[in-house]
Amino acid sequence: METIQNIPRHIAIVMDGNGRWARKKHRPRFMGHKKGVEAVREIVKTCSLLKVECLSLFAFSSENWKRPEEEIKNLMGLFMMALEREARSLARNNVRLQIIGDLSHFSEKLQAKIKQVEELTKDSDGLRLIVAANYGGRWDIVESTRDIARTIEAGVLRPDDVKEDLISDNLTTTGLPDPDLFIRTGGEKRISNFLLWQMAYTELYFTDVLWPDFDEAELKKAISDYSSRQRRFGKTSEQVIADKKAAKK
């Protein structure tokens, strides 16, 4: 595999466009989701090979419950099947899987399966694969805030102890670096309540490619676009260049 400069440590993806992919082919929406799982497999493999540390995938948002019952049922079934089929291969490929989101709304069977696959892959020290299911960025912040409020009520912390790090540490993504690169397929240009707090300084990349068509080549295009950007974090361009030079010495 050719070398790409400046690989992001953490890539976060809103996998959008499954329904439109299916419609274009005159197939039921479900077929788009099914094909989407294949795209997930290819992207996970590529991220592993590229030594990306962390890949976060938005699989089901807290707003997606508004969809027709039939589609939700199909999505849950597909999620279950993917976990069953991929568990061993994730472990074999040294991928650690973690699901974030409010899992209490899922069936007992699915919750048990999630626990089982997380357990099976917990010792992997390769790619960290985060799948967001019934996740919402605002939900994550609300939960974190509630946890902190409780510790203050219990007298363990004082209001002055509430700092950025404390909030970050209480989010579901605790311990992970913030995303460097955000990708959204399917042409829409919005975040749709994904990792809101964590993406304060993430580079955003939007593509019209529909998720089932997003492959290794498309991922590399996104990474190469990312590598050409200058991340300034509030500094001037000259300061960033000087910092880079100093770091090389």
Nearer to ligand IPE, 8 or 186 (CB): 186
For the record, the structure tokens of 36 come out as 């989407």
Mention every residue, 6+ apart, whose C-beta is less than 8 A from residue 138.
193, 196
| Window 164-223: residues binding ligand IPE (CB under 6 A) | 186, 188, 190, 192
Q: Which residue has the tokens 């605790």?
A: 174
Q: Does 75 bind ligand IPE (CB under 6 A)?
A: yes
State the minimum distance, in angstroms, from the CB of residue 21 to Mg ion.
10
Q: Does 86 bind ligand IPE (CB under 6 A)?
A: no
**Partners of 129 in beta bridges:** 55, 97
Strands 181-184, 203-206: pairing is parallel
Nearer to Mg ion, 8 or 136 (CB): 136
Catalytic residue numbers, as ranges = 16, 64
Q: Does 14 bind ligand IPE (CB under 6 A)?
A: yes
DSSP letters spanning 106-168? S-HHHHHHHHHHHHHTTT--S-EEEEEEEE-HHHHHHHHHHHHHHHHHTTSS-GGG--HHHHH
Nearest residue by C-beta to ligand IPE? 19
Strands 181-184, 128-135: pairing is unpaired
**Closest Cα partner for 18 from 75, 82, 73, 62?**
75
| Window 121-160: residues binding ligand IPE (CB under 6 A) | none
- Residue 119 binds: one of ligand IPE, Mg ion, none (C-beta under 5 to 8 A by kind): none
Spatial separation of the C-alpha atoms in residues 197 and 223, rounded to whole Å: 22
- Residue 15 binds: one of ligand IPE, Mg ion, none (C-beta under 5 to 8 A by kind): ligand IPE
Nearer to ligand IPE, 91 or 191 (CB): 191
Q: Does 18 bind ligand IPE (CB under 6 A)?
A: yes
One residue of 40, 55, 59, 219 binding ligand IPE per CB under 6 A: 59
Spatial separation of the C-alpha atoms in residues 195 and 49, rounded to whole Å: 25
Q: Does 218 bind Mg ion (CB under 5 A)?
A: no
State the minimum distance, in angstroms, from the CB of residue 108 to Mg ion.
28
Spatial separation of the C-alpha atoms in residues 116 and 163, rounded to whole Å: 34
Q: Does 15 bind Mg ion (CB under 5 A)?
A: no
Helix (H) or strand (E) holding 60: strand 54-61
Q: Does 61 bind Mg ion (CB under 5 A)?
A: no
- Residue 198 binds: one of Mg ion, ligand IPE, none (C-beta under 5 to 8 A by kind): none
Q: Does 58 bind ligand IPE (CB under 6 A)?
A: yes
Q: Does 60 bind ligand IPE (CB under 6 A)?
A: yes
Binding site for ligand IPE (CB under 6 A): 14-20, 58-61, 64, 75, 186, 188, 190, 192
